[in-house]
Amino acid sequence: MARKSLIHREKKRQRLEQKYHLIRRSSKKKISKVPSLSEKWEIHGKLQSPPRNSAPTRLHRRCFLTGRPRANYRDFGLSGHILREMFHACLLPGAIRSSW
C-alpha cells in the first residue's frame, strides 16, 4: 500500500488541476490565435503563473484501492494484482477469462 502522503499529494494535484482548468484552457486558446509574437510571450507568461501542480501533465494515475503508482489500467482504475483478485471474486461486471 502506497504511503498516505503520496496519495494525498496526488489528490492535491487533482484539486488544483480542477481549479485552474478553465483558466489554462482559455490561455492556451488565446496563445494559438494571437498573431504577434510579443503578445504570445505575454500570454505565455500568464500560462506560467498558475501553480505548477495545476498542470495536468503532473498528474499520475494511481490504483484507487492501494495507491500503487505502477501497473494501473485506465479502464478499471486498478493495479494489476488487485484487478486479478477482484476478478476472481466476481466483482468486475462483464469480465470473464478470455480464451480463443
Partner 1 sequence: MGQKINPLGFRLGTTQRHHSFWFAQPKNYSVGLQEDEKIRNCIKNYVQKNKRISSGFEGIARIGIKKRIDLIQVIIHIGFPNLLIEGQTRGIEELQMNVQKEFHSVNRRLNIAITRVEKPYGQPNILAEYIALQLKNRVSFRKAMKKAIELAEQTDTKGIQVQIAGRIDGKEIARVEWIREGRVPLQTICAKIDHCSYTIRTIYGVLGIKIWIFVDEE
Report the interface residues with partner 1, using CB under 8 A. Answer: 64-65, 74-78, 86-97
Integer-rounded Cα radius of gyration of the chain: 20
User: Cβ closer to partner 1: 37 or 91?
Assistant: 91
Question: Which three three-digit cell numbers place residue 6?
Answer: 503520496
User: Cβ closer to partner 1: 4 or 97?
Assistant: 97
Burial label, 63 (beta-carbon count in 10 A; 0-12, 13-18, 19+): buried
User: Cβ closer to partner 1: 29 or 70?
Assistant: 70
Strands (E), the chain: 72-73, 78-79
Smallest gap, in angstroms, from Cβ of residue 13 to partner 1?
Answer: 18
Smallest gap, in angstroms, from Cβ of residue 31 to partner 1?
Answer: 29
